[in-house]
Amino acid sequence: MQKQQEKHMSKLKKYSVLGPVATTFTASDTGSWRLERPKVVFEDCIKCGICAQVCPVDIVEIRKDEKECVVFNFDYCKGCGICANECPKKCIMMVPERSEV
Amino acid sequence: MYDIQHESKGLVSHGVNACAGCGLELIARNTMEVLGENTIVVIPPGCGSLFSGYGAGAAMKLPGFQGNLENTAACAAGIRAALNAKGDKETTVLAFAGDGGTVDIGLQSLSGVMERRDKVLYICYDNEAYMNTGIQGSSSTPYQASTTTTPTGKPTERKSLMEIAIAHDIPYAATASIHNLRDFRRKVQKAKDTNGPSLIHIQTPCPTGWRYDPARSVELARLAVQTGAWILYEYENGKIKVNMKLKNLKSIEEYIKPQRRFRHLSQEDIEELQETVKKNYQRIMDRLEYMEGTV
Ligand SMILES: Cc1ncc(C[n+]2csc(CCOP(=O)(O)OP(=O)(O)O)c2C)c(N)n1
Ligand code: SF4
Ligand SMILES: [Mg+2]
């Protein structure tokens, strides 16, 4: 691992750093882990934003003026279901990822 | 020098390899959001290090350093000293360690920071075992919880990190919970503004180690407070403040039933555990009330 990092660092001639150093800000493909996905019954949503606050991945967005007022970024949603569990109106369902619902 | 290959809302990447439903991920995001860009982070090995870096990639837009499990606080103190030498009083130095890295292995270096009055913000995210290496029991594992090193339930009570901090009489220490993020964020801000060492001890539900449905992380954090298994209070300039005094404690069964780490308990064991939790809650409340009165 040390060698791999040295190789990486030697490209950055300007800086001299010894040992492993992380120099890229990246993201893993956590959306591929998902077994169930959240699905909102938009008519029942009161736009309180609790689902967005408790999302560990921070990928829920509330769009107050749109009909589809809760938007998830499925590139990273792991499908943990905390949003559905905490929703005060219980209007988020977790549906199996491969179902047609 | 830093190569940004991913767009994120805040300072933390959206694709972090923490388990689905991990309480730590929620804590890390909220912490970094409150502290802002002018922060240097020290994270020891453990699940927290998923945020600081793996190989050439990192999941935070903050400068950081991964020390050893035993010296998180000492590394943070060193960074603080260097910043002070440069005349930089503004940058926050955050030490962000697990329970194993705090109450067991890193306790001596934390004690040093608290005694020397170094201006370091120390957050212990407490998932109540050594999760990253496969759920070994720590001295923060609660009474009766099953781990791979205590398969029939831990025979002893947990250590009280808060009382250790209070014994050092640091300017600010607090416990927190992920079910009340607003309260947690207020405490992080307060700790950041403290001139001296500050400590936040936050309970961190861990679906993998506690063995429950990941959807229930926040719910379990709430139940822990409502049953008296986790107590929310602050210690500020010698004064104690209990954030949530409960008239009636909920039955401990509500808290432990969803967690398979308590599955081995018989009805009798549960009743005994209930008594222990109640007694412990009362003991701490009595002590806190006594301290409220004397200082
Ligand atoms: C001195 C030392 N002993 C053991 C280890 C191996 N180790 C790496 S991470 C870890 C678990 C740390 O547990 P904790 O601090 O509670 O963090 P968590 O994994 O639960 O987030 C251990 C034991 C180490 N890195 N250093
Ligand atoms: S083992 Fe627990 S603390 Fe570690 S990433 Fe998974 S859920 Fe989070
Ligand atoms: Mg731990």
Write the pLDDT tens digit of every residue in B15-53.
999 999 999 999 999 999 999 999 999 999 999 999 987
Please judge whether B55 and A54 are an interchain contact, meaning their C-beta atoms are less than 8 angstroms apart. Answer: no
Nearest to A33 among B13, B20, B213 (CB): B20
Q: B295 falls in which pLDDT band (50, 70, 90)?
A: very low
Ligand 3 centroid, distance to B89 Cα (angstroms): 31
Nearest ligand 1 atom to the CA of B49 is 21
Q: Is residue B223 over pLDDT 60?
A: yes
> Within a domain: residue A92?
yes
Q: B102 falls in which pLDDT band (50, 70, 90)?
A: very high
At residue A98, the pLDDT reads 82
Please judge whether A23 and B2 are an interchain contact, meaning their C-beta atoms are less than 8 angstroms apart. Answer: yes
Q: Which of A58, A85, A86 to mutate to test the interface with B (most CBs of B within 10 A)?
A: A58
Beta B57-58 vs A24-25: how paired, if at all?
parallel
Mean pLDDT of the A87-92 span: 97
Whether chain B has a CB inside 8 Å of the CB on A38: the answer is no
Nearest to A8 among B8, B56, B60 (CB): B56
> Within a domain: residue A12?
no
Number of folded domains in chain A? 1
Q: Give the tens place of pLDDT for each residue, B230-273.
A: 999 999 999 999 998 898 999 999 999 999 999 999 999 999 99
The CATH code of the domain that includes A64 is 3.30.70.20
Q: What is the ipTM of this complex?
A: 0.93
> Within a domain: residue A20?
no
> Within a domain: residue A26?
no
Please judge whether A58 and B20 are an interchain contact, meaning their C-beta atoms are less than 8 angstroms apart. Answer: no
Residues listed for chain A: 101
> Within a domain: residue A14?
no
Q: Give the tens place of pLDDT for each residue, A52-88.
A: 999 999 999 999 999 999 999 999 999 999 999 999 9
At residue A10, the pLDDT reads 66
At residue A16, the pLDDT reads 66
The structural domains of chain B, ordered by start, are 23-294 (3.40.50.970)
Please judge whether B21 and A12 are an interchain contact, meaning their C-beta atoms are less than 8 angstroms apart. Answer: no
Q: What residues in B contact A76, CB-CB < 8 Å?
A: 14-15
> Within a domain: residue A21?
no
- Residue-range definition of the domain harbouring residue A71: 40-96
Q: Which residue has the tokens 């990092």?
A: A5
State how far residue B290 is from chain A, nearest Cα, in angstroms.
Answer: 36
Q: What residues in A contact B17, CB-CB < 8 Å?
A: 28, 30
Whether chain A has a CB inside 8 Å of the CB on B60: the answer is yes
B94 - beta bridge partners? Answer: B41, B121
